[in-house]
Structure 1
Amino acid sequence: MLSDNERQRLIKACQASHWHKLYLLVLMAMVTGARKGELMSLHWSDVNFKESTGYLGDTKNGSSRELHFPPVVMAELKRFQEVGSGLIFPSAEKPNQPMDFRKAWRNALTAANISDKDVLNADGSIKLEKFTFHCLRHGFCSALSDAGKEINQIAKLAGHKSIQTTMRYIHQGRDQKRQIVNELAQAFSL
Protein backbone atom coordinates (compact mmCIF):
# COMPACT_ATOMS: atom_id res chain seq x y z
CA MET A 1 0.00 0.00 0.00
CA LEU A 2 1.14 3.49 -0.74
CA SER A 3 1.22 6.21 1.86
CA ASP A 4 -0.55 9.46 0.99
CA ASN A 5 2.83 11.02 0.23
CA GLU A 6 3.88 8.15 -2.03
CA ARG A 7 0.54 8.25 -3.84
CA GLN A 8 0.95 11.98 -4.53
CA ARG A 9 4.52 11.45 -5.77
CA LEU A 10 3.33 8.67 -8.07
CA ILE A 11 0.52 10.81 -9.46
CA LYS A 12 2.94 13.67 -10.18
CA ALA A 13 5.40 11.30 -11.84
CA CYS A 14 2.61 9.87 -14.02
CA GLN A 15 1.51 13.37 -15.02
CA ALA A 16 5.09 14.10 -16.11
CA SER A 17 5.50 10.79 -17.98
CA HIS A 18 6.61 10.71 -21.60
CA TRP A 19 3.56 8.51 -22.26
CA HIS A 20 0.79 11.08 -22.07
CA LYS A 21 -1.92 8.60 -20.97
CA LEU A 22 -0.10 7.06 -17.99
CA TYR A 23 -1.75 9.48 -15.57
CA LEU A 24 -5.21 8.57 -16.90
CA LEU A 25 -4.47 4.84 -16.67
CA VAL A 26 -3.12 5.01 -13.10
CA LEU A 27 -5.92 7.32 -12.01
CA MET A 28 -8.51 4.91 -13.40
CA ALA A 29 -6.84 1.99 -11.61
CA MET A 30 -6.71 3.88 -8.31
CA VAL A 31 -10.37 4.93 -8.30
CA THR A 32 -12.02 1.90 -9.92
CA GLY A 33 -9.92 -1.03 -8.73
CA ALA A 34 -10.04 -2.45 -12.25
CA ARG A 35 -7.40 -4.94 -13.33
CA LYS A 36 -4.64 -3.87 -15.71
CA GLY A 37 -5.97 -6.11 -18.49
CA GLU A 38 -9.49 -4.78 -18.04
CA LEU A 39 -8.36 -1.17 -18.37
CA MET A 40 -6.04 -1.89 -21.28
CA SER A 41 -8.87 -3.56 -23.20
CA LEU A 42 -11.31 -0.66 -22.72
CA HIS A 43 -12.57 0.90 -25.93
CA TRP A 44 -13.98 4.38 -26.36
CA SER A 45 -17.32 2.78 -27.13
CA ASP A 46 -17.26 1.24 -23.61
CA VAL A 47 -17.37 4.70 -22.01
CA ASN A 48 -20.69 6.41 -21.36
CA PHE A 49 -19.80 10.08 -21.05
CA LYS A 50 -23.33 11.05 -19.98
CA GLU A 51 -23.42 8.55 -17.11
CA SER A 52 -19.68 8.74 -16.21
CA THR A 53 -19.35 4.98 -16.49
CA GLY A 54 -17.33 2.36 -18.30
CA TYR A 55 -18.42 -1.11 -19.31
CA LEU A 56 -16.15 -4.11 -18.78
CA GLY A 57 -17.49 -6.95 -20.87
CA ASP A 58 -14.63 -9.42 -20.57
CA THR A 59 -13.33 -9.69 -17.02
CA LYS A 60 -11.05 -12.25 -15.40
CA ASN A 61 -13.93 -13.97 -13.63
CA GLY A 62 -16.03 -14.13 -16.80
CA SER A 63 -18.71 -11.65 -15.81
CA SER A 64 -19.26 -8.10 -16.98
CA ARG A 65 -19.34 -5.08 -14.71
CA GLU A 66 -19.74 -1.35 -14.75
CA LEU A 67 -17.05 1.08 -13.63
CA HIS A 68 -18.06 4.41 -12.14
CA PHE A 69 -15.77 7.33 -12.95
CA PRO A 70 -15.46 10.38 -10.69
CA PRO A 71 -15.20 13.85 -12.29
CA VAL A 72 -11.38 13.85 -12.27
CA VAL A 73 -11.32 10.70 -14.45
CA MET A 74 -14.03 12.05 -16.74
CA ALA A 75 -12.04 15.25 -17.26
CA GLU A 76 -9.00 13.22 -18.30
CA LEU A 77 -11.06 10.97 -20.56
CA LYS A 78 -12.53 14.04 -22.26
CA ARG A 79 -9.01 15.37 -22.92
CA PHE A 80 -8.30 12.30 -25.03
CA GLN A 81 -11.84 11.53 -26.20
CA GLU A 82 -11.96 9.93 -29.61
CA VAL A 83 -14.93 9.10 -31.75
CA GLY A 84 -15.24 5.45 -32.63
CA SER A 85 -14.59 2.19 -30.94
CA GLY A 86 -10.80 2.07 -30.78
CA LEU A 87 -8.83 1.27 -27.65
CA ILE A 88 -8.43 4.01 -25.08
CA PHE A 89 -4.82 2.93 -24.52
CA PRO A 90 -3.61 1.76 -27.95
CA SER A 91 -0.07 0.92 -28.96
CA ALA A 92 1.45 3.61 -31.17
CA GLU A 93 2.80 0.94 -33.53
CA LYS A 94 -0.24 -1.37 -33.49
CA PRO A 95 -3.41 0.64 -32.72
CA ASN A 96 -5.51 -2.53 -32.43
CA GLN A 97 -3.35 -3.74 -29.54
CA PRO A 98 -2.96 -2.24 -26.06
CA MET A 99 0.03 -0.06 -25.26
CA ASP A 100 2.95 -1.77 -23.54
CA PHE A 101 3.44 0.76 -20.76
CA ARG A 102 5.96 -1.15 -18.63
CA LYS A 103 8.83 1.26 -19.30
CA ALA A 104 6.68 4.33 -18.58
CA TRP A 105 5.43 2.66 -15.38
CA ARG A 106 8.96 1.81 -14.19
CA ASN A 107 10.14 5.34 -14.97
CA ALA A 108 7.23 6.81 -12.99
CA LEU A 109 8.00 4.56 -10.01
CA THR A 110 11.65 5.59 -10.15
CA ALA A 111 10.73 9.28 -10.37
CA ALA A 112 8.39 8.84 -7.39
CA ASN A 113 11.10 6.98 -5.44
CA ILE A 114 8.93 3.84 -5.16
CA SER A 115 10.69 0.50 -5.55
CA ASP A 116 9.73 -1.86 -8.36
CA LYS A 117 12.03 -4.49 -6.87
CA ASP A 118 11.84 -6.36 -3.56
CA VAL A 119 14.01 -4.80 -0.85
CA LEU A 120 15.73 -7.56 1.12
CA ASN A 121 17.04 -7.83 4.65
CA ALA A 122 20.61 -9.04 5.21
CA ASP A 123 19.28 -12.59 5.68
CA GLY A 124 17.55 -12.52 2.29
CA SER A 125 14.03 -12.17 3.65
CA ILE A 126 11.79 -9.55 2.11
CA LYS A 127 11.88 -6.25 3.98
CA LEU A 128 9.71 -4.33 1.53
CA GLU A 129 7.80 -5.90 -1.36
CA LYS A 130 8.07 -4.36 -4.79
CA PHE A 131 5.23 -2.12 -5.91
CA THR A 132 3.47 -3.38 -9.02
CA PHE A 133 0.57 -2.02 -11.05
CA HIS A 134 -1.64 -4.67 -9.44
CA CYS A 135 -0.89 -3.10 -6.04
CA LEU A 136 -3.17 -0.23 -7.11
CA ARG A 137 -6.04 -2.73 -7.00
CA HIS A 138 -5.08 -3.77 -3.47
CA GLY A 139 -4.92 -0.09 -2.52
CA PHE A 140 -8.43 0.47 -3.90
CA CYS A 141 -9.89 -2.35 -1.81
CA SER A 142 -7.95 -1.31 1.29
CA ALA A 143 -9.01 2.35 0.97
CA LEU A 144 -12.67 1.33 0.73
CA SER A 145 -12.27 -0.89 3.79
CA ASP A 146 -10.55 1.90 5.71
CA ALA A 147 -13.47 4.18 4.75
CA GLY A 148 -15.84 1.74 6.44
CA LYS A 149 -17.40 0.23 3.33
CA GLU A 150 -18.90 -3.22 3.71
CA ILE A 151 -16.96 -6.18 2.35
CA ASN A 152 -19.74 -7.20 -0.04
CA GLN A 153 -19.76 -3.68 -1.54
CA ILE A 154 -15.99 -3.80 -2.00
CA ALA A 155 -16.20 -7.25 -3.61
CA LYS A 156 -18.83 -6.05 -6.06
CA LEU A 157 -16.85 -2.95 -7.05
CA ALA A 158 -13.66 -5.01 -7.45
CA GLY A 159 -15.44 -7.66 -9.51
CA HIS A 160 -14.67 -10.46 -7.06
CA LYS A 161 -16.97 -13.47 -7.04
CA SER A 162 -16.12 -14.32 -3.45
CA ILE A 163 -15.62 -12.28 -0.32
CA GLN A 164 -12.61 -14.50 0.51
CA THR A 165 -10.82 -13.07 -2.52
CA THR A 166 -11.64 -9.54 -1.44
CA MET A 167 -10.30 -10.24 2.04
CA ARG A 168 -6.88 -11.04 0.54
CA TYR A 169 -6.89 -7.59 -1.08
CA ILE A 170 -7.57 -5.64 2.08
CA HIS A 171 -4.46 -4.53 3.94
CA GLN A 172 -5.33 -2.74 7.12
CA GLY A 173 -2.73 -0.41 8.47
CA ARG A 174 -1.50 -0.32 12.04
CA ASP A 175 -3.76 2.65 12.87
CA GLN A 176 -6.85 0.88 11.57
CA LYS A 177 -6.02 -2.25 13.57
CA ARG A 178 -5.47 -0.18 16.71
CA GLN A 179 -8.80 1.60 16.18
CA ILE A 180 -10.65 -1.72 15.75
CA VAL A 181 -9.17 -3.13 18.96
CA ASN A 182 -9.96 0.08 20.86
CA GLU A 183 -13.56 0.04 19.59
CA LEU A 184 -13.88 -3.59 20.67
CA ALA A 185 -12.57 -2.74 24.14
CA GLN A 186 -15.13 0.08 24.37
CA ALA A 187 -17.91 -2.27 23.27
CA PHE A 188 -16.91 -4.63 26.08
CA SER A 189 -16.83 -1.67 28.52
CA LEU A 190 -13.17 -2.33 29.32
Structure 2
Amino acid sequence: MRTFPVQMPSGMRYWTVIGEDLLVMSVADAYLRYLRFGRDAAESTTKTYAGAVALYLSWCAATGQDWRAAAGKMPAFVLWLRHSPSQPGTTPGGPVEAAVRGPRRINCVLAGVRGFLTFAVDHGEAPRGVLGHLYELANSQDLPAEARGEDGAWRLRMKARHRVPAIRQRPDRASDEDVLALLRACLSARDRLLVMLLARAGLRRGELVGLRREDVHFLVDSSSLGCGFPGSHLHVVRRQNTNGAWAKARHSRIVPVDSLVVHAHDQYFTERVMNPAAGESDFVFVNLFRAPMGAPMTPAAVNELLAAASRRAGLDPAVHPHALRHGFASNVLDAGGSIDEVQELLGHASISSSQVYLHPAPERLRAAVERVALAATSPGT
Protein backbone atom coordinates (compact mmCIF):
# COMPACT_ATOMS: atom_id res chain seq x y z
CA MET A 1 0.00 0.00 0.00
CA ARG A 2 1.18 3.50 -0.74
CA THR A 3 -0.16 7.04 -0.90
CA PHE A 4 -1.02 8.83 -4.11
CA PRO A 5 -2.07 12.46 -4.84
CA VAL A 6 -5.35 13.06 -6.66
CA GLN A 7 -6.24 16.32 -8.40
CA MET A 8 -9.92 17.06 -8.91
CA PRO A 9 -11.28 18.96 -11.93
CA SER A 10 -11.66 22.00 -9.66
CA GLY A 11 -7.91 21.98 -9.07
CA MET A 12 -8.20 20.87 -5.43
CA ARG A 13 -5.98 17.98 -4.40
CA TYR A 14 -6.12 15.28 -1.77
CA TRP A 15 -4.16 12.11 -1.05
CA THR A 16 -5.51 8.60 -1.28
CA VAL A 17 -4.27 5.02 -0.79
CA ILE A 18 -3.57 2.57 -3.62
CA GLY A 19 -2.46 -1.06 -3.58
CA GLU A 20 0.30 -2.86 -5.43
CA ASP A 21 -2.19 -3.39 -8.26
CA LEU A 22 -2.53 0.42 -8.49
CA LEU A 23 -6.21 0.19 -7.55
CA VAL A 24 -7.67 2.63 -5.04
CA MET A 25 -8.71 1.25 -1.65
CA SER A 26 -12.31 2.47 -1.85
CA VAL A 27 -13.10 2.87 1.87
CA ALA A 28 -9.84 4.69 2.54
CA ASP A 29 -10.44 6.92 -0.48
CA ALA A 30 -13.95 7.80 0.73
CA TYR A 31 -12.54 8.66 4.18
CA LEU A 32 -9.80 10.89 2.77
CA ARG A 33 -12.20 12.65 0.41
CA TYR A 34 -14.48 13.23 3.40
CA LEU A 35 -11.60 14.85 5.29
CA ARG A 36 -10.69 17.11 2.40
CA PHE A 37 -14.10 18.16 1.18
CA GLY A 38 -16.45 17.35 4.07
CA ARG A 39 -14.24 18.56 6.91
CA ASP A 40 -12.35 21.19 4.89
CA ALA A 41 -9.01 19.70 5.92
CA ALA A 42 -5.76 20.81 4.33
CA GLU A 43 -4.21 18.76 1.55
CA SER A 44 -1.25 18.13 3.86
CA THR A 45 -3.64 16.63 6.43
CA THR A 46 -4.96 14.12 3.91
CA LYS A 47 -1.37 13.27 3.01
CA THR A 48 -0.53 12.54 6.65
CA TYR A 49 -3.67 10.49 7.24
CA ALA A 50 -3.28 8.61 3.95
CA GLY A 51 0.20 7.62 5.11
CA ALA A 52 -1.24 6.36 8.40
CA VAL A 53 -3.93 4.29 6.67
CA ALA A 54 -1.39 2.91 4.19
CA LEU A 55 0.81 1.74 7.06
CA TYR A 56 -2.14 0.05 8.77
CA LEU A 57 -3.25 -1.72 5.60
CA SER A 58 0.35 -2.76 4.86
CA TRP A 59 0.58 -4.33 8.32
CA CYS A 60 -2.71 -6.14 7.76
CA ALA A 61 -1.46 -7.50 4.43
CA ALA A 62 1.92 -8.52 5.86
CA THR A 63 0.28 -10.41 8.74
CA GLY A 64 -2.56 -11.91 6.68
CA GLN A 65 -5.36 -10.13 8.56
CA ASP A 66 -8.58 -8.57 7.41
CA TRP A 67 -8.36 -4.84 8.15
CA ARG A 68 -11.65 -4.88 10.05
CA ALA A 69 -10.72 -7.76 12.37
CA ALA A 70 -7.19 -6.41 12.84
CA ALA A 71 -8.62 -3.50 14.85
CA GLY A 72 -8.67 -5.88 17.81
CA LYS A 73 -4.89 -6.31 17.68
CA MET A 74 -3.76 -2.71 17.95
CA PRO A 75 -0.97 -3.45 20.47
CA ALA A 76 0.67 -5.68 17.84
CA PHE A 77 0.31 -2.87 15.29
CA VAL A 78 1.98 -0.42 17.69
CA LEU A 79 4.90 -2.84 18.09
CA TRP A 80 5.14 -3.17 14.30
CA LEU A 81 5.13 0.62 13.91
CA ARG A 82 7.90 0.99 16.45
CA HIS A 83 10.29 -1.47 14.84
CA SER A 84 9.38 -2.19 11.20
CA PRO A 85 10.63 0.12 8.44
CA SER A 86 8.30 1.04 5.61
CA GLN A 87 10.66 1.75 2.73
CA PRO A 88 9.09 1.48 -0.73
CA GLY A 89 9.65 -1.91 -2.32
CA THR A 90 10.30 -3.76 0.92
CA THR A 91 8.08 -6.19 2.77
CA PRO A 92 7.86 -5.45 6.50
CA GLY A 93 9.26 -8.34 8.45
CA GLY A 94 9.89 -9.02 12.10
CA PRO A 95 11.00 -6.39 14.57
CA VAL A 96 14.46 -4.91 14.17
CA GLU A 97 16.60 -4.02 17.15
CA ALA A 98 16.31 -0.21 17.01
CA ALA A 99 13.05 1.75 17.03
CA VAL A 100 12.37 3.39 13.68
CA ARG A 101 9.44 5.58 14.79
CA GLY A 102 9.15 7.66 17.92
CA PRO A 103 6.09 8.06 20.18
CA ARG A 104 4.82 11.23 18.50
CA ARG A 105 4.93 9.67 15.03
CA ILE A 106 3.24 6.48 16.26
CA ASN A 107 0.48 8.44 17.98
CA CYS A 108 -0.07 10.44 14.80
CA VAL A 109 -0.46 7.20 12.81
CA LEU A 110 -2.86 5.79 15.42
CA ALA A 111 -5.02 8.93 15.21
CA GLY A 112 -5.31 8.53 11.45
CA VAL A 113 -6.16 4.84 11.74
CA ARG A 114 -8.82 5.50 14.41
CA GLY A 115 -10.40 8.08 12.14
CA PHE A 116 -10.40 5.68 9.20
CA LEU A 117 -11.92 2.79 11.17
CA THR A 118 -14.52 5.02 12.83
CA PHE A 119 -15.51 6.32 9.40
CA ALA A 120 -15.81 2.73 8.14
CA VAL A 121 -18.12 1.82 11.04
CA ASP A 122 -20.23 4.93 10.51
CA HIS A 123 -20.71 4.04 6.83
CA GLY A 124 -21.47 0.36 7.38
CA GLU A 125 -18.13 -0.89 6.07
CA ALA A 126 -17.03 -2.34 9.43
CA PRO A 127 -18.93 -3.83 12.40
CA ARG A 128 -19.74 -1.61 15.35
CA GLY A 129 -17.64 -3.82 17.61
CA VAL A 130 -14.56 -2.21 16.06
CA LEU A 131 -15.20 0.94 18.11
CA GLY A 132 -14.82 -1.04 21.33
CA HIS A 133 -11.28 -1.95 20.29
CA LEU A 134 -10.41 1.69 19.61
CA TYR A 135 -12.07 3.61 22.45
CA GLU A 136 -13.08 3.24 26.06
CA LEU A 137 -15.54 5.33 28.03
CA ALA A 138 -13.90 7.88 30.31
CA ASN A 139 -15.13 10.86 32.28
CA SER A 140 -14.27 14.47 31.66
CA GLN A 141 -12.59 15.05 35.02
CA ASP A 142 -9.14 14.25 33.62
CA LEU A 143 -9.45 17.05 31.04
CA PRO A 144 -8.08 20.58 31.59
CA ALA A 145 -10.61 22.92 33.22
CA GLU A 146 -11.12 24.94 30.01
CA ALA A 147 -12.06 21.75 28.13
CA ARG A 148 -14.80 20.60 30.52
CA GLY A 149 -17.44 23.11 29.46
CA GLU A 150 -18.67 26.22 31.20
CA ASP A 151 -20.70 24.38 33.83
CA GLY A 152 -17.84 22.02 34.73
CA ALA A 153 -20.28 19.11 34.87
CA TRP A 154 -19.09 15.49 34.83
CA ARG A 155 -19.57 13.86 31.43
CA LEU A 156 -18.69 10.64 29.68
CA ARG A 157 -16.44 10.76 26.65
CA MET A 158 -14.68 8.34 24.33
CA LYS A 159 -11.02 7.95 25.19
CA ALA A 160 -8.52 6.37 22.79
CA ARG A 161 -7.37 3.00 24.09
CA HIS A 162 -3.95 2.95 22.45
CA ARG A 163 -1.51 5.81 22.85
CA VAL A 164 2.25 5.67 23.29
CA PRO A 165 3.52 7.80 26.22
CA ALA A 166 5.51 10.71 24.86
CA ILE A 167 7.52 13.29 26.74
CA ARG A 168 6.35 16.71 25.63
CA GLN A 169 9.38 18.75 24.76
CA ARG A 170 9.27 22.51 24.78
CA PRO A 171 9.38 23.78 21.19
CA ASP A 172 12.34 25.83 20.11
CA ARG A 173 12.09 29.57 20.51
CA ALA A 174 14.04 31.81 18.16
CA SER A 175 15.79 34.51 20.17
CA ASP A 176 15.96 38.16 19.19
CA GLU A 177 19.64 37.58 18.39
CA ASP A 178 18.67 34.77 16.01
CA VAL A 179 16.20 37.04 14.24
CA LEU A 180 18.77 39.82 13.83
CA ALA A 181 21.30 37.32 12.48
CA LEU A 182 18.76 36.04 9.96
CA LEU A 183 17.88 39.55 8.83
CA ARG A 184 21.55 40.36 8.27
CA ALA A 185 21.95 37.17 6.25
CA CYS A 186 18.95 37.84 3.97
CA LEU A 187 19.87 38.54 0.36
CA SER A 188 16.80 40.55 -0.62
CA ALA A 189 14.10 42.85 0.71
CA ARG A 190 11.56 40.09 0.06
CA ASP A 191 13.41 37.70 2.34
CA ARG A 192 13.71 40.32 5.08
CA LEU A 193 9.96 40.96 4.99
CA LEU A 194 9.34 37.22 5.15
CA VAL A 195 11.48 36.87 8.28
CA MET A 196 9.86 39.95 9.83
CA LEU A 197 6.33 38.61 9.37
CA LEU A 198 7.26 35.27 10.90
CA ALA A 199 9.06 36.88 13.84
CA ARG A 200 6.94 39.98 14.47
CA ALA A 201 3.47 38.81 13.41
CA GLY A 202 3.70 35.12 14.34
CA LEU A 203 2.32 33.83 11.03
CA ARG A 204 2.51 30.18 10.07
CA ARG A 205 4.42 29.50 6.87
CA GLY A 206 1.22 28.52 5.03
CA GLU A 207 -0.46 31.74 6.15
CA LEU A 208 2.59 33.73 5.08
CA VAL A 209 2.84 32.54 1.47
CA GLY A 210 -0.96 32.47 1.19
CA LEU A 211 -1.18 36.24 1.74
CA ARG A 212 -2.73 38.20 -1.10
CA ARG A 213 -2.11 41.87 -1.74
CA GLU A 214 -5.72 42.59 -0.76
CA ASP A 215 -4.93 41.20 2.71
CA VAL A 216 -2.31 43.88 3.39
CA HIS A 217 -3.77 47.03 4.96
CA PHE A 218 -0.72 49.20 5.59
CA LEU A 219 -0.95 52.95 6.16
CA VAL A 220 -4.34 53.29 4.49
CA ASP A 221 -7.79 54.28 5.68
CA SER A 222 -9.14 50.79 6.16
CA SER A 223 -12.71 52.07 6.17
CA SER A 224 -12.41 52.70 2.44
CA LEU A 225 -11.70 48.97 2.06
CA GLY A 226 -14.65 47.97 4.19
CA CYS A 227 -12.42 47.34 7.20
CA GLY A 228 -12.71 49.27 10.43
CA PHE A 229 -9.65 47.84 12.19
CA PRO A 230 -7.33 50.70 13.21
CA GLY A 231 -3.69 50.95 12.19
CA SER A 232 -1.53 48.81 9.91
CA HIS A 233 -2.55 45.16 9.90
CA LEU A 234 -2.88 41.94 7.91
CA HIS A 235 -5.91 39.78 7.22
CA VAL A 236 -5.18 36.05 7.45
CA VAL A 237 -7.82 34.32 5.32
CA ARG A 238 -8.34 30.63 4.67
CA ARG A 239 -8.71 30.01 0.94
CA GLN A 240 -7.66 27.64 -1.81
CA ASN A 241 -4.22 28.58 -3.16
CA THR A 242 -2.41 27.33 -6.23
CA ASN A 243 0.88 27.11 -4.31
CA GLY A 244 -0.47 24.70 -1.69
CA ALA A 245 -0.53 27.35 1.06
CA TRP A 246 -3.20 26.83 3.70
CA ALA A 247 -4.36 28.84 6.69
CA LYS A 248 -4.90 26.31 9.46
CA ALA A 249 -7.63 28.22 11.31
CA ARG A 250 -11.10 28.02 9.77
CA HIS A 251 -11.93 31.60 10.71
CA SER A 252 -10.03 34.60 9.36
CA ARG A 253 -8.23 36.87 11.78
CA ILE A 254 -6.57 40.28 11.84
CA VAL A 255 -2.94 40.64 12.90
CA PRO A 256 -1.65 44.14 13.73
CA VAL A 257 1.90 44.94 12.56
CA ASP A 258 4.40 47.55 13.66
CA SER A 259 6.28 50.21 11.72
CA LEU A 260 9.30 47.93 11.17
CA VAL A 261 7.16 45.47 9.22
CA VAL A 262 5.58 48.32 7.24
CA HIS A 263 9.01 49.68 6.37
CA ALA A 264 10.20 46.22 5.29
CA HIS A 265 7.10 45.89 3.11
CA ASP A 266 7.83 49.24 1.43
CA GLN A 267 11.36 48.09 0.60
CA TYR A 268 10.03 44.83 -0.83
CA PHE A 269 7.45 46.67 -2.95
CA THR A 270 10.24 48.74 -4.52
CA GLU A 271 12.18 45.54 -5.26
CA ARG A 272 9.14 43.72 -6.59
CA VAL A 273 8.06 46.33 -9.16
CA MET A 274 11.43 45.89 -10.89
CA ASN A 275 10.31 42.39 -11.93
CA PRO A 276 7.52 42.66 -14.57
CA ALA A 277 6.40 39.05 -14.03
CA ALA A 278 5.61 39.78 -10.39
CA GLY A 279 2.97 42.33 -11.33
CA GLU A 280 0.71 39.61 -12.70
CA SER A 281 0.35 37.86 -9.34
CA ASP A 282 -1.98 38.80 -6.51
CA PHE A 283 0.17 36.87 -4.02
CA VAL A 284 2.40 38.93 -1.74
CA PHE A 285 5.41 36.59 -1.86
CA VAL A 286 6.46 35.56 -5.36
CA ASN A 287 9.56 34.21 -7.08
CA LEU A 288 11.88 37.06 -8.02
CA PHE A 289 15.18 35.27 -8.50
CA ARG A 290 14.37 31.89 -10.03
CA ALA A 291 11.89 30.32 -12.41
CA PRO A 292 9.00 30.40 -12.67
CA MET A 293 9.30 34.16 -12.26
CA GLY A 294 6.33 35.79 -10.57
CA ALA A 295 4.88 32.49 -9.35
CA PRO A 296 3.77 32.41 -5.69
CA MET A 297 6.32 31.02 -3.25
CA THR A 298 5.49 27.62 -1.76
CA PRO A 299 5.51 26.68 1.96
CA ALA A 300 8.55 24.47 1.34
CA ALA A 301 10.41 27.47 -0.11
CA VAL A 302 10.08 29.21 3.27
CA ASN A 303 11.98 26.39 4.97
CA GLU A 304 14.62 26.42 2.24
CA LEU A 305 15.07 30.17 2.58
CA LEU A 306 15.46 30.05 6.36
CA ALA A 307 17.85 27.10 6.15
CA ALA A 308 20.07 28.97 3.69
CA ALA A 309 19.96 32.18 5.74
CA SER A 310 20.78 30.21 8.90
CA ARG A 311 23.86 28.73 7.22
CA ARG A 312 25.07 32.16 6.12
CA ALA A 313 24.43 33.49 9.64
CA GLY A 314 26.26 30.58 11.26
CA LEU A 315 23.19 29.42 13.18
CA ASP A 316 23.26 25.72 14.06
CA PRO A 317 20.71 24.20 14.16
CA ALA A 318 18.92 26.16 11.48
CA VAL A 319 15.99 28.34 12.53
CA HIS A 320 12.68 26.92 11.31
CA PRO A 321 9.47 28.92 10.73
CA HIS A 322 7.70 27.75 13.90
CA ALA A 323 10.66 28.78 16.07
CA LEU A 324 10.04 32.36 14.95
CA ARG A 325 6.34 31.98 15.74
CA HIS A 326 7.20 30.67 19.21
CA GLY A 327 9.53 33.60 19.75
CA PHE A 328 6.79 36.05 18.77
CA ALA A 329 4.32 34.56 21.27
CA SER A 330 6.87 34.64 24.06
CA ASN A 331 7.88 38.23 23.28
CA VAL A 332 4.24 39.34 23.49
CA LEU A 333 4.00 37.86 26.99
CA ASP A 334 7.39 39.20 28.03
CA ALA A 335 6.16 42.66 27.04
CA GLY A 336 3.13 42.31 29.34
CA GLY A 337 0.62 40.75 26.95
CA SER A 338 -1.99 38.29 28.19
CA ILE A 339 -2.57 34.69 27.16
CA ASP A 340 -5.89 35.56 25.48
CA GLU A 341 -4.09 38.18 23.37
CA VAL A 342 -1.57 35.56 22.29
CA GLN A 343 -4.42 33.17 21.47
CA GLU A 344 -6.08 35.75 19.21
CA LEU A 345 -2.85 36.81 17.50
CA LEU A 346 -1.80 33.23 16.77
CA GLY A 347 -5.27 32.15 15.64
CA HIS A 348 -5.74 29.33 18.15
CA ALA A 349 -9.23 27.96 18.73
CA SER A 350 -8.26 26.81 22.24
CA ILE A 351 -6.22 28.71 24.78
CA SER A 352 -4.47 25.45 25.70
CA SER A 353 -2.88 25.45 22.25
CA SER A 354 -1.37 28.87 22.95
CA GLN A 355 0.20 27.67 26.19
CA VAL A 356 2.43 25.25 24.28
CA TYR A 357 4.14 28.20 22.59
CA LEU A 358 5.03 30.09 25.73
CA HIS A 359 8.68 30.44 26.66
CA PRO A 360 9.06 32.93 29.54
CA ALA A 361 12.36 34.74 29.34
CA PRO A 362 14.77 34.02 32.26
CA GLU A 363 14.50 37.67 33.27
CA ARG A 364 10.72 37.40 33.57
CA LEU A 365 11.01 34.26 35.70
CA ARG A 366 13.52 36.01 37.95
CA ALA A 367 11.25 39.05 38.29
CA ALA A 368 8.31 36.80 39.24
CA VAL A 369 10.29 35.22 42.08
CA GLU A 370 11.55 38.59 43.29
CA ARG A 371 7.99 39.95 43.38
CA VAL A 372 7.05 37.11 45.73
CA ALA A 373 10.03 37.81 47.94
CA LEU A 374 9.22 41.53 47.99
CA ALA A 375 5.62 40.86 49.00
CA ALA A 376 6.75 38.58 51.83
CA THR A 377 8.99 41.28 53.34
CA SER A 378 6.61 44.21 52.90
CA PRO A 379 5.17 45.81 56.05
CA GLY A 380 1.79 44.56 57.08
CA THR A 381 2.18 41.10 55.50
Say whether the fold is shared (TM-score over 0.5): yes
In structure 1, the partner of 2:263 is: 75
Match of 2:179 in 1: 7
Please identify, of 175-184 and 134-143, the stretch whose mean Cα deviation from structure 2 is larger.
175-184
Distance between the aligned counterparts of 1:179 and 1:94, measured in 2?
Answer: 51
Distance 1:45 1:183 in 2: 46
2:376 corresponds to:
188
Does residue 98 of structure 1 match 2:294?
no
Q: What amino acid maps onto 1:110 in structure 2?
A: R
| Whole-angstrom distance in 1 between the partners of 2:264 and 2:376 | 48
Letter of the aligned partner of 2:259 in structure 1?
P
User: 2:248: which partner in 1?
Assistant: 60
| Residue 113 of structure 1, aligned match among 314, 323, 342 | 314
Structure 1: any 5+ residue segments left out of the alignment?
117-129
Distance of aligned partners of 1:68 and 1:113 in 2 relative to their CA distance in 1, 3 Å threshold: same
Task: State the match for 1:121 in structure 2.
Answer: none
Provide closer, same or farther for how the CA distance between residues 78 and 175 of structure 1 changes in structure 2, counting only shifts above 3 A: closer
TM-score by length of 2: 0.42
The structure-2 alpha-carbon separation of the partners of 1:76 and 1:107, relative to structure 1 and needing over 3 Å to count, comes to: same
Which residue type is aligned with residue 26 of structure 1?
Answer: V
Contact 1:33 1:141 in 2 (8 A): yes
Q: Distance in 2 between matches of 1:103 and 1:158?
A: 23
Tell me the equivalent position of 2:359.
Answer: 171
- Distance in 1 of aligned mates of 2:215 and 2:281: 8
Instruction: Please give the root-mean-square deviation of Cα atoms over the aligned residues, in Å.
Output: 2.3
Is the contact made by 1:44 and 1:84 (CA closer than 8 Å) also made in structure 2?
Answer: no
Q: Measure how far apart 1:174 and its partner are.
A: 2.5
**Mapped partners of 2:303, 2:265: distance in 1:** 21
Aligned length: 174
1:142 Cα offset (Å): 0.4
The one-letter code of the counterpart of 2:307 is: R
Q: CA deviation at 1:84?
A: 7.2
- Which sits farther off after the overlay, 42-51 or 21-30? 42-51
Which of 96-105 and 58-67 deviates more?
A: 96-105
Whether the aligned pair in 1 keeps the contact of 2:198 and 2:325 (CA below 8 Å) is: yes
Larger radius of gyration: 2
Given residue 234 of structure 2, which amino acid in structure 1 is its aligned partner? G
Q: Which amino acid aligns with 2:177?
A: N
- The TM-score, its normalising length taken from structure 1, stands at 0.80
Instruction: Give matches, 1:125-144, under 5 Å.
Output: 131-144=319-332
Give the Cα–Cα distance (whole angstroms) in 1 for the partners of residues 255 and 175 of structure 2: 24
CA positional deviation for 1:183: 1.1
- 8 Å Cα contact 1:29/1:36 also seen in 2: yes
Are positions 1:44 and 2:213 aligned together? yes
Q: Does 2:350 correspond to 1:151?
A: no
Deviation at 1:95, TM superposition (A): 4.0
The CA distance in 2 between the partners of 1:178 and 1:76, in whole Å, is 34
Find the partner of 1:29 among 167, 179, 198. 198
Q: Is the 8 A contact 1:45 1:85 kept in 2?
A: no
Separation in structure 2 between the aligned mates of residue 158 and residue 175 of structure 1, nearest angstrom = 24
Deviates more, 1:83-92 or 1:148-157: 83-92
Identity of aligned residues (%): 28
Secondary structure in 2 matching 1:134: helix
**How far did 1:96 drift?**
4.7
